[in-house]
Structure formats: structure tokens, C-alpha cells
Structure 1
Amino acid sequence: MLPRMKTRQKVLVLYLANSALDAPVIAWAVYDGTGQTLHMAGDDDTPPYATGLDALKDGWRLFQASQLLPHARGEEHDVAYLKYEFFFEQLVEVAP
């Protein structure tokens, strides 16, 4: 009997320039639950995708987007955090 494959999750976090999925990626992180990649994709200067839409086209599934909340009056230009965060996943079959 062949060993049964196990399913593992890869998570891709893309921070976009604005709330549209076709906006440019400005920061990112990748977490590989398969154990095949031991570093984050953000270790180099090139994002894995140019936009969130490109990740969707490559088979990543969007499962969370940041809630769109207006800035408080006077804080419209605050850049203390990256507001437009999108979480994607891929389910990958790995050998046991």
C-alpha cells in the first residue's frame, strides 16, 4: 500500500499600495507549512507577485483582507503601519 499524502498549508501575506487587489505589492511574507522553504520570500528585494491579482491567477486562494477603516481626522497621512494586508493560501500535498 502506498503511503498517504499529507496536506500542508502555505501562507502568503501581501501588503498592497491600496485596497484594490490589482494594486502594487509594497511588502510581503511567505510561510511554508510544508517545510520545503526555510526562509521568507521577503529576504530579497523582489516580491513574489506584482499584485494580489497575480497571486490569485497563480492559484493562491484569498482568505482574508484587512477591514477598510477610515483614518481618524488629522491622521490621514500616518504611515506607522501597512494598512492593506491580504492573506492568501495554497494547500500542498507532501509525502509523509
Structure 2
Amino acid sequence: MKYMNANHVLPEKLIVEIQKYVQGETLYIPKPETEYQKWGTSSGGRRMLDRRNETIRNSFISGSSIQQLAEEYYLSTETIKKIVYTHKK
């Protein structure tokens, strides 16, 4: 989150109206909910985890054990179970 001076981005009438409520303070203005992105969408982290999880599922289907996958991917056996027993939508 970066700081922006209201005098540079908002109309003077709006600043005067806002000053009735807040003066000289930092004010957070959230994005509309329609602009939210899920975690990892921008960075590609979500895509990377989805590919990893698909590889884990395929390895499990091909005969790898939960314990083997946990050791190979440095994850807990409970995490591996969640990955292999959850149906991807």
C-alpha cells in the first residue's frame, strides 16, 4: 500500500467533504470487492501450487504412498491427505 496525497488525486470539493470527518490522518480506502484477487494470482504462486498439487495427486494415483509424498515434498502427511483426497473443481 502506498501513500498518496489527496490534493494530487481528489477534487477539492471531495477533500472538503472528507475533512468534515478526518483531518491530518492516514485514511485507508479499500478496493471494491469486485477488484479483489485471490492469493497468488498476480505472482503466479497459486498456479505453481496448483501444478505441484496435481503432480502429487497423479503420483498418489500411480502408487506413491502418503508417507513417500510427504517426504518428497517436505509436507506433513495431513497436508498430503488433504491434497490427494480433495477433488479439484
TM-score range, shorter chain: under 0.3
Greater strand percent: which structure?
A: 1
TM-score w.r.t. the length of structure 2 is 0.27
Max Rg structure: 2
